[in-house]
Amino acid sequence: MSKSLTPEKINDALNKVYDKVKKKKTGKVASYIPELAKVDPKIYGIVIVTCCGKVYKIGDFKKTVAIESIAKVFTLCMALQHHNKDHIIDKIGTQTSFLPFNSVLALRLSDNHTINPFVNAGAIATASLVKGKTKKSVWKNIHDNMNNFAGKKLKVSEKTYKSEMKTNEHNVALAYLLKSYGKFYNDVEDTVDVYTRQGSVMVNALDLATMASCLANDGVNPRTNKRVFKKKYIPFVLSTMLGGGVYEYSGRWMNEVGIPAKSGVGGGLIGVVPGKFGIAVVSPPLDKHGNSSKGVATFRELSRRLDLNMFHEKAECQMKNKNRKCI
Ligand code: GLN
């Protein structure tokens, strides 16, 4: 990874990538949640928030979309504050999946059924691990946690929430199926309600990049200087993002982009470059996997131009001591 990033290089890359990707006209906005179909497909913004709290931005960085599955990252973080990592591995798992994010077949075929915290089955089960005496207090924990990552109070779109609740039979079915396997840890209907609410939180690219930057910055929000997450669990969250953050595309993503990421069907996409910055793209039209089309193209281009791919370390031998002798 490049050790010589400068503000000029970052601004230059943002401008060039934005101009190039803006012209791309592929993808369709999500319509299986009726409210999402109403979003403006032209929204396109990119933001980078560095570990020093510096913000680089271009395009529609203030336009909000529903966070959808990106919320799963922060609910995983919340569950990790209530349980340890081994508990999450046991109750949810870290399997990758080659099937769509809401696949019943994947749930049936997988040994642990929950698969991982980022497909719908595993994500709803992860929400069922968040503690709270009532549905309201579970939601408060999840919402407060997202607010801490964003450094501001994030609003819920009641319209999106109601729209998804009305058409939520599939997620409810996944949750009951998990319950039948003994892989659900709280009341089904209440948890699906909270899970649906977490996806209806409205965010812009600046909010998302700020949230991602906390994971790049050892768990401290670089814009508020508040610790929002335990440093010791960050490698677990990031490696899980790398394995399944963009669903069946994750293998190719590792090859082409090579940084931990998470997408949402609202059109947001975040990436984390550990020790450097969080990146977010917002552009609602999606590819066939449910990832923002322009988002994927943006990350591919940014990774290439800024040399961000963690698998592209220079071949110079790192196994040398101070006297430059090989260990
Ligand atoms: N709320 C959406 C769902 O449960 C989230 C899916 C996504 O963003 N991939 O289907």
- Cα separation, 69 vs 199, in Å, equals 6
Q: Reduced to 3 states, what is the DSSP secondary structure of residue 227?
A: strand
Lowest mean pLDDT among 91-95, 309-313, 316-320: 316-320
Average pLDDT rounded to a whole number, residues 280-292: 97
138: left (phi over 0), alpha (psi -120 to 50) or beta: alpha
Strand stretches in the chain, DSSP E: 45-50, 55-59, 65-66, 202-203, 261-263, 268-273, 277-282
Average pLDDT rounded to a whole number, residues 130-140: 97
**Mutation probe of ligand 1 site: the residue of 31, 33, 69 with most atoms within 8 A of C-beta:** 69
- Cα separation, 173 vs 163, in Å, equals 17
Split at pLDDT 50, 70, 90, the class of 1 is: very low
pLDDT higher than 90, residue 98? no
The confidence score (pLDDT) of residue 323 equals: 73
Average pLDDT rounded to a whole number, residues 152-179: 97
**Mutation probe of ligand 1 site: the residue of 72, 97, 102 with most atoms within 8 A of C-beta:** 102
What tokens appear for 246 in the block? Answer: 């963009």
Lowest mean pLDDT among 4-8, 90-94, 103-107, 141-145: 4-8
- Give the residue among 256, 268, 152 at the shortest CA–CA distance from 214: 152
The position carrying tokens 């977490």 is 198
Compute the mean pLDDT over every residue in the chain, rounded to the nearest whole number.
Answer: 95
Atom of ligand 1 nearest to the CA of 200: 1
- Cα separation, 128 vs 112, in Å, equals 16
Question: Does the Cβ of 290 fall within 6 Å of ligand 1?
Answer: yes
User: What letter does residue 201 receive in the DSSP assignment?
Assistant: B
What tokens appear for 92 in the block? Answer: 């949810």
Q: Which residues, 6+ apart, have CB-to-CB distance to 59 below 8 Å?
A: 18, 22, 44, 45, 46, 205
204-255 pLDDT, tens per residue?
A: 999 999 999 999 999 999 999 999 999 999 999 999 999 999 999 999 999 9
The position carrying tokens 């009341």 is 187
Split at pLDDT 50, 70, 90, the class of 193 is: very high
Split at pLDDT 50, 70, 90, the class of 286 is: very high
256-272 pLDDT, tens per residue?
A: 999 999 999 999 999 99
Question: Does the Cβ of 207 fall within 6 Å of ligand 1?
Answer: no
- Give the residue among 257, 256, 261, 258 at the shortest CA–CA distance from 244: 261
The confidence score (pLDDT) of residue 318 equals: 63
Helical ranges in 35-84 per DSSP H? 71-82
What tokens appear for 1 in the block? Answer: 């990874």
Q: Reduced to 3 states, what is the DSSP secondary structure of residue 100?
A: coil
Average pLDDT rounded to a whole number, residues 303-314: 88
pLDDT higher than 80, residue 43? yes
9-41 pLDDT, tens per residue?
A: 999 999 999 999 999 988 999 999 999 999 999
The confidence score (pLDDT) of residue 315 equals: 54
Are 290 and 270 contacting, i.e. CB atoms less than 8 angstroms apart? no
Question: Does the Cβ of 69 fall within 6 Å of ligand 1?
Answer: yes
CA angle 101, 154, 213 (to 5 degrees): 70
The confidence score (pLDDT) of residue 26 equals: 87
Question: Does the Cβ of 268 fall within 6 Å of ligand 1?
Answer: no
The position carrying tokens 């929950």 is 114
Split at pLDDT 50, 70, 90, the class of 319 is: low
- Cα separation, 212 vs 203, in Å, equals 12
Q: Which residues, 6+ apart, have CB-to-CB distance to 210 below 8 Å?
A: 49, 149, 150, 151, 221, 222, 223, 278
Average pLDDT rounded to a whole number, residues 144-162: 98
What helix, strand, coil percent values describe the chain, rounded to 5?
Answer: 50, 10, 40
By the 10 Å C-beta count (0-12 exposed, 13-18 middle, 19+ buried), 94 is classed as middle
Question: Does the Cβ of 246 fall within 6 Å of ligand 1?
Answer: no
Separation of CA 80 and ligand 1 centre (Å): 21
Strand partners, 270: 262, 280
